[in-house]
């Protein structure tokens, strides 16, 4: 962790975590990243998600419903027409443990993960039509 004063090993874990989260002021706060500084706040927030949620409206509408963990696992593993927008492959369909990935073929036919290089090659070249070269 990145902090100016090391925490003594005799300090209880909960107190050490509180110091790293910035609850003791700037003196003992970890400065590695802001996300780490808000760890305890997000862990115990009354607004945190406690149950799986599924989008039921169009993207961006903010419409969600609670689903069971069993339904979550079923949909992630098996896929299907999950959002009424067409079929989505589940992990069972795209998992290809016997397919060798090499530098020349980083993406198999089954595993549709996209590497950084492949993303750069596939992404649109312009933000809007007015910026595109003709």
pLDDT mean over 77-99: 87
- Are residues 5 and 41 both part of a single domain? yes
Instruction: Pick the range with the lowest mean pLDDT from 4-18, 41-55, 107-121.
Output: 107-121
- Are residues 59 and 44 both part of a single domain? no
**Burial tier of 130 (Cβ tally within 10 Å: 0-12, 13-18, 19+):** exposed
- Are residues 43 and 59 both part of a single domain? no
Q: Is residue 116 in some structural domain?
A: yes
Tokens of 24: 């003791």
pLDDT mean over 80-84: 89
CA–CA dist 30, 3 (Å, integer): 5
- Are residues 36 and 2 both part of a single domain? yes
Block residue for tokens 């069972």: 92
pTM: 0.48
- Are residues 83 and 102 both part of a single domain? no
Q: Is 107 within 8 Å of 114 (Cβ atoms)?
A: yes
pLDDT grade, residue 34 (50/70/90)? confident
Segment 102-122, tens digit of pLDDT: 766 655 554 455 555 555 555
- The chain-wide mean pLDDT, for the chain, equals 75
Domain that holds residue 59: 53-89
- Are residues 83 and 112 both part of a single domain? no
Q: Is residue 112 in some structural domain?
A: yes
Tokens of 70: 């069993």
- Which pLDDT score, from 0 to 100, does residue 29 have? 56
- Which pLDDT score, from 0 to 100, does residue 98 have? 77
- Which pLDDT score, from 0 to 100, does residue 72 have? 95
Q: What is the DSSP string of 122-133?
A: HS-S-SSGGGS-
- Which pLDDT score, from 0 to 100, does residue 128 have? 47
- Which pLDDT score, from 0 to 100, does residue 31 have? 58
- Are residues 3 and 18 both part of a single domain? yes
> E strand or H helix at 14, and its extent?
helix 13-20
Q: Is residue 133 in some structural domain?
A: no
Q: Is residue 39 in some structural domain?
A: yes
Quote the number of domains for the chain: 3
- Which pLDDT score, from 0 to 100, does residue 28 have? 55
- Are residues 43 and 57 both part of a single domain? no
């Amino acid at each position: 962790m990145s902090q100016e004063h090391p925490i003594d090993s005799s300090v209880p874990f909960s107190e050490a975590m509180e110091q790293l989260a910035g609850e003791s002021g700037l003196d003992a706060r970890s400065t590695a990243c802001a996300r780490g500084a808000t760890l305890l706040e997000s862990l115990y927030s009354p607004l945190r998600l406690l149950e799986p949620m599924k989008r039921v409206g169009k993207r961006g509408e903010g419409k969600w419903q609670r689903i069971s963990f069993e339904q979550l696992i079923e949909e992630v593993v098996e896929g299907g027409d999950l959002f009424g927008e067409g079929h989505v492959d589940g992990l069972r369909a795209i998992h290809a443990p016997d397919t060798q990935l090499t530098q020349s073929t980083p993406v198999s036919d089954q595993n549709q993960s996209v590497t950084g290089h492949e993303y750069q090659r596939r992404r649109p070249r312009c933000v809007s039509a007015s910026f595109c070269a003709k």
